[in-house]
Amino acid sequence: MTHSADPLRNPDSTHVEQPRQRGAIALIPNQCTSCMICVRECPVWCISLTAEKRHDPDAGPRGRSTLVLTDFSIDYGLCMDCGICIDACPTDALEWVAAPLPSASTEADLTLDTGRLADLRLTGSDNSHPLGELNQHR
Ligand code: SF4
Ligand code: SF4
């Protein structure tokens, strides 16, 4: 019996990253305005986000309401690395990083939440990683 070499399907496998691999998409949460453009543009609907309206009574005579991001996730079981969400984001809150996706032993683990998407930026800043050379071409 053969096993998949993909760690998302088989976490026990030895995964060899290929030079052409694009890495992962990371989120910069404080740059996200919850505009929903990436959610609408994603061809496979694998981005979810929730936001809440907060009222600032000190902003002018009537105050002002703003949307504040409360949760953002990408289902990497569906994502096809097309990059449309990155191109569409008006605030550069999404970016390619030279980071491998964490291994997943269940389908649910393939969905990365706000914290894990933000953490990918830390891993992706490591230029000694085999994918690090991707940073130099972006
Ligand atoms: S890379 Fe493409 S498929 Fe993946 S989340 Fe972005 S828009 Fe969706
Ligand atoms: S397009 Fe950018 S700013 Fe808008 S919800 Fe997506 S990540 Fe946030």
Mutate to test the pocket of ligand 2, among 30, 31, 35, 66 (most ligand atoms within 8 A of CB): 35
Mean pLDDT on 50-54: 94
**DSSP symbols for 23-72:** -EEEE-GGG-----HHHHH-TT--EEEEEEEEEETTSSTT-EEEEEEEEE
pLDDT of residue 1: 47
Average pLDDT, the chain: 82
Instruction: Enumerate residues 6+ apart whose C-beta is below 8 A from 97.
Output: 23, 24, 25, 26, 120, 121, 123, 124, 125, 135
Say yes or no: CB of residue 110 within 6 Å of ligand 2.
no
Per-residue pLDDT band for 66 (boundaries 50, 70, 90) equals confident
Instruction: Say whether pLDDT at 114 is over 90.
Output: yes
Instruction: Say whether pLDDT at 138 is over 50.
Output: no
pLDDT of residue 13: 59
Per-residue pLDDT band for 49 (boundaries 50, 70, 90) equals very high
Task: Determine the Cα–Cα distance for residues 64 and 10; give it in Å rounded to an integer.
Answer: 49
Mutate to test the pocket of ligand 1, among 80, 86, 87, 95 (most ligand atoms within 8 A of CB): 80
Choose between 6 and 50: higher pLDDT. Answer: 50
CA nearest 6: which of 76, 63, 62? 76
Atom 8 of ligand 2, nearest CA residue: 32
**In this structure, CATH architecture of domain 24-137:** 2-Layer Sandwich (3.30)
pLDDT of residue 127: 47
Instruction: Enumerate residues 6+ apart whose C-beta is below 8 A from 23.
Output: 96, 97, 98, 99, 100, 124, 131, 134
Q: Which ligand is nearest to the CA of 79?
A: 1
Per-residue pLDDT band for 69 (boundaries 50, 70, 90) equals very high
Say yes or no: CB of residue 81 within 6 Å of ligand 1.
yes
Task: Determine the Cα–Cα distance for residues 71 and 135; give it in Å rounded to an integer.
Answer: 27
Task: Determine the Cα–Cα distance for residues 53 and 65; give it in Å rounded to an integer.
Answer: 6
